[in-house]
């Protein structure tokens, strides 16, 4: 059996970061037939989470049985086009004035604040603060 990841998050309960449950779901999935299969949303989130943790692409690739090239492609896309990250469920709209970061569980009252918060997981603070959020569609 392929071991997806040995990393265990401690937090439990409603405030547990959503990424922890998403990674649990991914661990429960059957191993990929091939490292070169197209990756799904869960795997993309796992890759982003690894990048956020500062893990090397080869390590992320090993951890999730994904090719290193795929991990590098996701990383390059993120740094070339930071707003592309909002194509995935990284900001969870939990209700009026409640936007939650999928990676750490922190909530913000405004979507744009939460988006900048998410960007700050990947970019230096001053860069994250100055990225033009433009016309990002509302998160639902």
**Binding span for Zn ion by CB under 5 A among 42-50, 58-66, 84-92, 104-112:** 104-112
Q: Is 137 exposed, middle or buried (0-12, 13-18, 19+ CB in 10 A)?
A: exposed
Rule CB under 5 A: choose which of 74, 103, 115, 116 binds Zn ion.
103
Output 66 or 91, the one with its CB closest to Zn ion.
Answer: 91
Q: Please give the Cα distance from 95 to 135 (Å, whole number).
A: 21
Least Å distance between CB 69 and Zn ion? 27
114 belongs to the binding site for Zn ion (CB under 5 A): no
Output 16 or 29, the one with its CB closest to Zn ion.
Answer: 16
Give the strand order in the sheet containing 107-108.
91-95, 98-101, 107-108
Q: For residue 123, which of 92, 89, 95, 82 has the smallest C-alpha distance?
A: 82
In the complex, which residues of this chain contact Zn ion (CB under 5 A)?
A: 101, 103-104, 106
């Amino acid at each position: 059996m392929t071991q997806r990841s040995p990393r265990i998050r401690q937090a439990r309960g409603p405030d547990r970061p959503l990424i922890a449950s998403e990674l649990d779901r991914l661990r429960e999935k059957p191993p990929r037939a091939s490292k070169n299969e197209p990756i799904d949303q869960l795997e993309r989130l796992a890759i982003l989470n690894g990048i956020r943790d500062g893990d090397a692409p080869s390590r992320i690739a090993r951890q999730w049985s994904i090719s290193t090239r795929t991990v590098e492609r996701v990383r390059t896309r993120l740094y070339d086009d930071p707003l592309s990250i909002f194509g995935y469920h990284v900001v969870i709209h939990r209700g009026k004035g409640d936007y939650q970061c999928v990676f750490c569980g922190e909530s913000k009252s405004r979507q744009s604040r939460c988006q900048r918060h998410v960007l700050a997981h990947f970019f230096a603070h001053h860069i994250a603060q100055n990225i033009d959020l433009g016309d990002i569609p509302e998160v639902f």
